[in-house]
């Protein structure tokens, strides 16, 4: 067994942090380590929290953490932040909001930069979730950057996707455009003490009537995160969805589809890494980048074919 995997199994927090850093840096040891990590995972509940910037995702997670700890559950938080164009790092804003939990040994919080990922999640997010699972956390919460046109990747890496909306914020139209409504397993209307809750709830219900989802019917829960209202109801619905995934045929099919997507993503990453390496170690190929008018389609096709031929 990989040394880090063994230490993580023994709940070594330093090893946990080190393993996530290794994953983010795409270390060559990543795949063998993750294979060992996978063999010791403990089936934590993976929950995604997504929604528009300003919807109160971080505040909601902060109070959900307090609620879960009162239930004697241990929790890991993977907070995916936008990437700095200068340093490539994350802003760490979410960790600032959750500072009251820093000294709690039952909570682990890790900010992670998207590093250019268009899906709103870092490529290393899924692996980091698995590492937290192997450590022994009961729940892993994943907070995404914020709803965008392509931010649908969260559904590939979590069991339950919770979409946070707020009344009178104008974010519903953006979310309809983004297509994120289709992947929500749970709708959380946060800041439910503001006017417009009834209208927003009716809009969501009308949407569900139009699409008529088969199998799981996404519930709607009202929360006021700053007052810790609705946390018990939200957690109950999340647990109901977890039961659905593991005890129904439709849930089993979704888990199989996730596995297929993950395998394809891993293959894609390995191909990309190898092709990029073959290009960047060839002076002639590097020289081709000096001509801004070069045909990118021809270069991509010929270089990939050359790499594929070498790989045979």
Residue 162: closest CA among 60, 265, 81: 60
Q: What pTM was computed for the model?
A: 0.84
Hey, how many other C-beta atoms are within 10 angstroms of the C-beta on 302? Answer: 13
What's the rounded Cα separation, in Å, for the pair 30 and 9? 16
Contact 57, 50 (CB under 8 A): yes
Ramachandran area for residue 249 (φ above 0: left; ψ -120 to 50: alpha; else beta): alpha
Per-residue pLDDT tens over the stretch 232-289: 999 999 999 999 999 999 889 988 988 898 888 888 888 888 898 889 999 999 999 9
- 50-78 average pLDDT score: 90
Q: Give the helix ranges, DSSP H, for 87-160.
A: 93-97, 125-135, 154-157
- 19-34 average pLDDT score: 86
Per-residue pLDDT tens over the stretch 121-149: 556 888 899 999 999 999 999 988 765 54
């Amino acid at each position: 067994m990989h040394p880090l995997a063994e230490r993580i199994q023994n709940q070594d927090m330093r090893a946990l942090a080190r393993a996530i850093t290794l994953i983010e840096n795409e270390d060559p040891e990543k795949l063998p380590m993750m294979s060992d990590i996978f063999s010791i995972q403990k089936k934590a509940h993976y929950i995604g929290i997504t929604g528009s910037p300003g919807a109160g995702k971080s505040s909601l997670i902060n109070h959900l953490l307090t609620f879960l700890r009162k239930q004697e559950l241990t929790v890991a938080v993977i907070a995916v932040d936008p990437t700095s164009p200068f340093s490539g790092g994350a802003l760490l804003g979410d960790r600032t909001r959750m500072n009251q939990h820093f000294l709690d040994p039952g909570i682990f919080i890790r900010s992670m930069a998207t590093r250019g990922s268009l899906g709103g999640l870092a490529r290393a997010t899924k692996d980091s979730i698995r590492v937290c699972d192997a450590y022994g956390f009961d729940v892993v919460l994943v907070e995404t950057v914020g709803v965008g046109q392509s931010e649908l990747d969260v559904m590939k890496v979590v069991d339950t996707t919770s979409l946070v909306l707020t009344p009178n914020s104008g974010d519903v139209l953006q979310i309809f455009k983004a297509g994120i409504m289709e992947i929500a397993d749970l709708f959380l209307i946060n800041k439910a003490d503001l006017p417009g809750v009834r209208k927003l709830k009716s809009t969501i219900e009308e949407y569900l009537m139009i699409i008529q989802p088969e199998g799981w019917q996404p519930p709607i829960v009202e929360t006021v995160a700053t007052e810790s209202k609705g946390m018990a109801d939200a957690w109950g619905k999340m647990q109901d969805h977890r039961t659905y995934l593991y005890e129904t045929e439709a849930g089993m099919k979704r888990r199989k589809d996730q596995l297929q997507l993950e395998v394809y993503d891993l293959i894609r990453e390995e191909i990309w890494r190898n092709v990029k390496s073959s290009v960047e170690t060839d002076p002639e190929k590097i020289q081709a980048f000096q001509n801004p008018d070069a045909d990118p389609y021809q270069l991509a096709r010929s270089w990939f074919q050359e790499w594929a031929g070498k790989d045979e």
